[in-house]
Structure 1
């Protein structure tokens, strides 16, 4: 692949990357805000608070991607199945972040709070975001090549790539 074709491919991904990032930023804000609220005024323990905020953040990210970034992509499966796969991709991303912290903290002996932050929120978040982007576009919101354009993929005269807001 030449540099020119690589640049063209990356340029064509621009709107998709921007939409994915916008949904992710909103999801991150919900996750962080809810976590702080559940830990503070509500008084939940950290694992319960983080679990609830993670589910809320995943839900916001899914809604943003399903109704925004990938609204024109129909995978031929139910929204519930899409959400389940989306949630699994996000859990995999969270595991990547935890793995980065574990390697840094326990494997390399970098035990400071700064090292944990860099490995988890820096390196881990970057790797997890790449995984989430790949998983979201290839596993959750894809159009099957073997069935695209067949009569079973048409809904009220629209091609399968034109999903509605309500699914």
Structure 2
């Protein structure tokens, strides 16, 4: 009778190694995105949207490889193209969360300073997007077969 609640509690437990690895991979992906964007805008003089689109794809690719080869290397394998497509979709959803936070703050609440935009987009938006990306990555991309939505890994 008491086994079900214990199992349910176990499913929700987060692993420190998983969190730290996910964060390290995310920092590397962010650095890749930022460095490539800066290089594409600077020396190559690409327009900002093209530069950001290319740097975003590169950052997603670095994050996927880092998670596949590091954080979630012990998960069952499947089609890497399917996993990458789902991973990319999760990251696009995260980017949309950041844009939504920025839009609500800037246009909805009227906080229009550069500091407010940075706090809402790169602070609050990034935090919420990271939570979404973590959940989506472990739940939909690198899930254990037959355990969609499970937090046990």
Query: TM-score category by the smaller chain?
Result: 0.7 to 0.9
For 2:125 and 2:144, locate their aligned partners in 1 and report how far apart those are by CA, in whole Å. 29
Where does 1:74-153 land on structure 2 (aligned, <5 Å)? Answer: 74=76, 77-145=78-146
Unaligned runs of 5+ in 2: 148-152
TM-score in terms of structure 1 length: 0.80
CA deviations over 1:68-115 (Å, ceiling 9, x no partner): 0000101x5300000000000000000000000000000000001110
Instruction: Output one character per residue of 1:18-40: Cα deviation in whole Å (capped at 9) or x when no partner.
Output: 11011101000000000000000
Alpha-carbon distance in 1 for matches of 2:126, 2:20: 17
- In structure 2, the residue matched to 1:49 is 51
Divergent runs of 4+, >3 A: none
Which position in structure 2 is the counterpart of 1:31?
Answer: 33
Deviation at 1:145, TM superposition (A): 2.7
The secondary structure found in structure 2 opposite 1:41 is coil
Q: Which residue of 2 aligns with 1:68?
A: 70
Q: How big is the shift at 1:144?
A: 1.5
**Cα root mean square deviation, aligned:** 2.0
Structure number with greater Rg is 1
Superposition deviation, residue 125 in structure 1: 0.1
Q: What TM-score do you get using the length of structure 2 for normalisation?
A: 0.87
Q: Name the count of aligned residue pairs.
A: 141
